[in-house]
Amino acid sequence: MTSSATTQAVSELTVPVPWGEVRGKVWGPDHGRPVLCLHGWADNCGAFDTLIPLLPTECRYVAVDLAGHGLSSHRPPGAFYYTAAYAADVRRVVDALQWKTFSIIAHSMGGDIAGMFCSLYPEMVEALVLLDSYGFLPTDTRQLCKIIRRGIDEMIQFEKLNNEKKQKVYTREKAAERLLSANPSLTAESVQSLLQRGLLQVDGGVAFSRDLRVNFKNITRLSLEQSLETLSRTQTHILLILAGDNLDKLFSEKTQKKFNSALLQAFRDRNHTVVRVPGDHHIHLNSPEVIAPFVSDFLRSKVLSQPASLVNTQPSKL
């Protein structure tokens, strides 16, 4: 690709939040069209290291480590990790960056966060790219109480045992093996990209930096009707990129699979762009050249071809 950010410097970002800081990485010019990048569950902003260098240089890309992931602070004791809380974090970050309007590229769980943010603040988002994520994922109504209860019970049990648990220490090689075995859609090279921000040096070796509480069930849940309503409230252009033929991987619960056709139809009914490409769940990290042309064309046609918002013409203080 001729227009890429490959040669541009990457800088570290730190945004203060009430419980610590949200960390991230920045690519592109100070006055570039702002694009926020949100990674998936248990990943970190290193998941965008291979894709962003292939995207248009006219944009300023900010990829963050979501709370409890990568180098960002863990939430305070007793706090849950759930979609609405992450959406609030997005608002904190863009306020700190002084972005009034921006675009979002989001993968997996990051897509769910982006979808909620777009429905809550539709006037702020110029374009949304969903990478192997429906972004408006519903839960079977009959399972709602069971799932929310499970999330609460997991937290209570964790709090009871937390003082007794010892941090698991690995060598870097064993940590890489552990991450690879837990994420079969990753390659060995992709694992190394994630481990750059996913490990902390501790006595005797390294430990994973993410908060164990991110493993608990998300207690923010929407029915199909509510999911379609949130999608209808977005005012932005959406590019949905689905990797591979097995869409079941997008659903963490079996009962969610029945919503697949309804979700796809909802995107098409609203004239959003749906693209299927060969690959796996981490295609944006493993094989970014497959999806980069679609993302680049989308950004050029829906964002870069439009006049820049005057409110974003001043560089951020961060």
pLDDT per residue as tens, the chain (318 positions) = 334 444 568 999 999 999 999 999 999 999 999 999 999 999 999 999 999 999 999 999 999 999 999 999 999 999 999 999 999 999 999 999 999 999 999 999 999 999 999 999 999 999 999 999 999 999 999 999 999 999 999 999 999 987 667 789 999 999 999 999 999 999 999 999 999 999 999 999 999 999 999 999 999 999 999 999 999 999 999 999 999 988 888 888 888 999 999 999 999 999 999 999 999 999 999 999 999 999 999 999 999 999 887 555 555 556
Distance CA 294, CA 93 (A): 27
Q: Distance between the two ends of the chain, CA-based, in angstroms?
A: 30
What is the reported pLDDT for 315?
55
Q: Are 211 and 70 in contact (CB under 8 A)?
A: no
State yes or no: is 108 an active-site residue. yes
Distance CA 149, CA 194 (A): 31
Residue with tokens 């659903």: 251
What is the reported pLDDT for 164?
65
Q: Are 97 and 35 in contact (CB under 8 A)?
A: no
- DSSP E strands: which ranges in the chain? 10-17, 20-27, 33-38, 59-64, 102-107, 125-131, 199-202, 205-208, 237-243, 273-277
Q: Are 253 and 141 in contact (CB under 8 A)?
A: no
| Marked catalytic residue, from 11, 73, 103, 108 | 108
Distance CA 113, CA 106 (A): 8
What is the reported pLDDT for 180?
95
Residue with tokens 């990290």: 285
What is the reported pLDDT for 177?
96
Distance CA 244, CA 279 (A): 5
| pLDDT tens digits along 43-61 | 999 999 999 999 999 999 9
Domains of the chain: 10-138+221-312 (3.40.50.1820)
